[in-house]
Amino acid sequence: METVAPFPEVIDEIKAAGGDAFTYCYQCGKCDVVCPWNRVRDFSIRKIVLQASLGIPDIELDEIWRCTTCGRCPSECPRGVNQIDIGVAIRRIATAYDVLPAPVSAYRRVGASLASDGNPLGEAREARDAWAEDLSLRTYTEGMEVLFFVGCYYSYDPRLQKVARAIAEILKRAGVDFGILGRMESCCGESIRKTGNEEVFKNLARSNIKTFIDNGVKRILVASPHCFHTFKNEYPEFMVNFEIVHISQFLAELIESGRLEVKGALDNKKITYHDPCYLGRHNGIYDEPRNVLKSLAGVELVEMADSREKSLCCGGGGGRIWAETPKTERFADLRMAQARDTGAQVLATACPYCVTNFEESRLSLDEGDPFQVKDITELVLEAIQAGEATS
């Protein structure tokens, strides 16, 4: 059957984004084997790569936004095909033509909110620092040890504001000289870029970079792996480099140096840790969060069936945190089951998307079930407060 590429520019743009990597694909299918989607439904990233090489003449629109950019397939590919870059390039072209099917139509609203208010949640910029109004936090000024870049979900989402407050309380107790940017802060732009909206990403990146430079920022502390990834690996495209540290790394550093003393215990908790895709596979940070948890008295750390490099994605990456996903297709439910199988009482992680998705999955548990979802910073603060209560 003759195949005709209707848009030759599609192939050129895919090449520009991912090089000629798709030409290396020999359709072995290993990407489909490791893709988490194939645990809940049929999905073929291999087919999308093939269609990319042909100029996408025959592709289902819904499928090109299904990838969560979890990183499992590039890490397993024997030919070095970067499926994520190929998929994002296709999304850019579809976005340019405003071809967004129903499951991801929310991306239009998200893009508009990011452009107008600097966050994807439709919240007012003026309320970005409301979570901290009673904490007496200072605005970052040049010369401070670190800028705490809070991020959108930690700034606005009521559940995740608890994590932001925990971080601030820990930093205070450790004597860290830090500040925040408040309403001067804008979304890092990582997830909207993965949906294909390159223009909004670039505008957000330029805005943040200007703010960082104007305020003399050198070292940036983040809680979101998505902020960590884009600041560390994508903002250098704009010819700037800042020192980026994730809170799990910073906590490990503070505890090891003795600046942060955690004297309390967590009452014999069995905890399992979930590796966020953008902290683990994309950036190789596996040990620091585990070391932090192991440093807490009363903690038994147990591993799930899929951990570290093979961690099962929560389903929130690649913009999927904003998309409609049927309950029968939610990776977070599978991950919750794995966590429960360990016998743990707590599923700990270090990502706002993961906490959000796992909390939603937790709602399906029987009423009164004590199983908890916690960010590692919440557990550290809990241990600190337990020690303070007995001293």
4 contact partners, CB below 8 Å, separation of at least 6? 57
pLDDT digits (tens, 9 = 90+) for 360-381: 999 988 888 899 999 999 999 9
The alpha carbon of residue 113 and the mean position of all alpha carbons in its chain are separated, in whole angstroms, by 19
Q: Is the pLDDT of residue 130 over 80?
A: yes
DSSP assignment, residue 219? E
CA nearest 87: which of 128, 132, 35? 35
> pLDDT tier at 1 (50, 70, 90 boundaries)?
very low
Q: Which residue has the higher pLDDT, 199 or 104?
A: 199
Across residues 146-166, what is the average pLDDT?
98
The alpha carbon of residue 298 and the mean position of all alpha carbons in its chain are separated, in whole angstroms, by 29
CA nearest 252: which of 348, 376, 375, 169? 376
The pLDDT of residue 7 is 59
Across residues 225-246, what is the average pLDDT?
97
**Average pLDDT score, the chain:** 92
Q: Is the pLDDT of residue 2 over 60?
A: no
Phi-psi region of 19 (alpha: psi -120 to 50; beta: other; left: phi over 0): left
pLDDT digits (tens, 9 = 90+) for 273-307: 999 999 999 999 999 999 999 999 999 999 999 99
What sign results for the dihedral spanned by CA atoms 257, 258, 262, 268?
positive
Q: Is the pLDDT of residue 200 over 60?
A: yes
The pLDDT of residue 3 is 45
50-54, 78-82, 322-326, 360-364, range with the lowest pLDDT:
50-54
> pLDDT tier at 99 (50, 70, 90 boundaries)?
confident
What domains appear along the chain, each with residue ranges and CATH number? 8-99 (no CATH), 107-252 (3.40.50), 262-390 (3.40.50)
Q: Which residue has the higher pLDDT, 49 or 191?
A: 191
Look at the block and give the residue holding tokens 């683990």. Answer: 280
Across residues 173-181, what is the average pLDDT?
98
What sign results for the dihedral spanned by CA atoms 4, 83, 347, 387?
negative
Q: Which residue has the higher pLDDT, 27 or 2?
A: 27
